[in-house]
Amino acid sequence: MSLVSKLMSGSLLLTALLCLLTACSSWESVPVQSPGAAKAFEVPDRTTTYSSDEVVQAFKADVETEYRLWDGDLIQVDVLGRSELSGPHTIGPDGKITLPVSGVLYLRNLTREDAAKAITQTLSHYYKDIFTTVRVEKYTSNRVIVLGRVERPGALQFEYPPLLLEILAKAGGLPLLRPEQVLTRCAIIRGNKILWIDVKRLLTGDMGLNVQLMRNDTVYIPDSTDTSVYVLGAVNKPGVYRLTPQMSFMDALSQAGGPTPEANISSFHLVRPSKQAHLEIDMYDVLHPNPNLNMSMEEGDIIYVARSWESKVGYIFQKVNPFATMMTLKGFAAF
């Protein structure tokens, strides 16, 4: 059979197939419109909203002015007249230090004064007339996480509770915005609470909105064309991912390479700043054959995968042996 004959034969076969499909289309049963379909296809309301002044005041009331010790802080313990009991200590991931003679002592979340009293009390079982002072040599645990349209996203360390404007300046939030865009708002996420700040009011002199931040607060800076989702924590490829149509929780997690072996499978967090919502997800439940648990993603959503406590053991090895850095996981939010 010649080439021309083959082409003609193939063309006839394709034509016959198209005719058959056209005829079959008349047999289809097209369903009627479902109730409320128009509502489901409405364009989302993108009206900018801000938190009330009462919510702002509630956030301000949370802040403590006195620093509290936390995991990773380097402290200096001085026991008057007892050089053998004095020296530096790094608070471990379990919140404890190990003192000579008396042994392990829990110091997490104590002030310097309270830590000194606790050390004095435990040493007084072995020594008389003990007087102890504690000072912080290196602050490593006080962090604020910055996300969104900033030049330097990530964890920022500080030695004192910073103000919102200090965080925006340090993260380079304002210069990165394109000329046609205006920074109008930002969110402060604290635990399961979200505060939306009117940045325009703040930058025009309303210092009442210059909120003081706390350890582990998250500052999120969106813009008018933000179509990204953020996958952070114990995943193989943490970062910013472009939101695609009908993207689900599992889609976003898969794009980030899935959880690492150090991940706490029962502690996945989905934060939706646009709805001021925070949902904790157990991966074992998601893997059950229940499609309702695979939530849809929206622009600006944040997925954070916590680490299990076993992964923090590497922290101790890093302090003991500086060449053991590879045993630790340098995470986005080490707590």
Residues in CB range of 247: below 8 A, 6 or more apart: 229, 296, 297
In-domain check, residue 308:
yes
3-state secondary structure of 48: coil
Tens of pLDDT, residues 67-104: 888 888 899 999 988 888 999 999 998 999 999 988 99
Residue 135: band (very low, low, confident or very high) from pLDDT cuts 50, 70, 90: very high
**Residue 311 CB partners (closer than 8 Å, separation 6+):** 234, 262, 329
Residue 60 pLDDT exceeds 60:
yes
Are 197 and 151 part of one and the same domain? Answer: yes
Which residue blocks in the chain are alpha helix, DSSP H?
3-25, 37-40, 53-62, 112-123, 164-171, 199-203, 249-255, 283-286, 313-320
% of the chain residues with pLDDT over 90: 18
d(CA 54, CA 208): 12
Give, in degrees to the nearest 5, the angle at Cα 55 between 50 and 60: 120
Biggest alpha carbon distance in the chain? Answer: 109
Identify the domain containing residue 322 by its residue range: 227-335
Which is more confidently placed, 50 or 318?
50
Same domain as 187, residue 109: no
* Within a domain: 216: yes
**pTM of full prediction above 0.85:** no
Is residue 180's pLDDT more than 60? no
Residues 147 and 195 in one domain: yes
Pick the most confident of 219-223, 226-230, 258-262: 258-262
Distance CA(181)–CA(176), nearest Å, equals 10
CA distances from 285 to 257, 266, 268, 310 (A): 19, 9, 11, 22
Residue 99 and residue 246 in one domain: no
178 & 204 share domain: yes
Q: What is the pLDDT of residues 293-310, one digit of tens each?
A: 677 787 788 888 888 765
Q: What is the mean pLDDT of the chain?
A: 75
Domain for residue 111, yes or no? yes
User: How many domains does the chain contain in total?
Assistant: 3
Closest CA to 240 of 223, 252, 254: 252
Range 293-306 burial, b when 16+ CB lie within 10 A, else e: eebebebbbbbbbb
